Amino acid sequence: MSSVYRNVPRVRLNSIAYESLRQQVLRRDGWRCQSCSAMSNLEVHHQVFRSHLGNDSKENLITLCAICHGVKHARI
């Protein structure tokens, strides 16, 4: 029998560790939205959502401005 989800432990950081990771991602991405290059109203986005078993890891995070982030979540 095949399982849809594997038993792989997810990395979910506490708030202090997540803020440190968030700052690392912003620096890595040059303090620019990776979609439109904006430098204001920056947010860090999970490419694979936590609700879809995405990790809190540099590889799964990307810097987006609030507008591009909203588009990714269809908030706009």
Residue 19 one-letter amino acid: E
pLDDT of residue 54: 85
Q: pLDDT tens, position by position, for the chain (76 residues)?
A: 444 555 556 667 889 999 999 999 999 999 999 999 999 999 999 999 888 888 999 999 999 999 999 998 886 5
Q: What pLDDT shows up at residue 4? A: 54
Predicted pLDDT of residue 36? 98
- Domain borders along the chain are 15-72
Residue 55: which of 5, 16, 18, 4 has the closest Cα?
18
DSSP assignments along 17-72, one per residue: HHHHHHHHHHHHTTTS-TTT---SSEEEEESS-GGGT--SSGGGEEEEEHHHHHHH
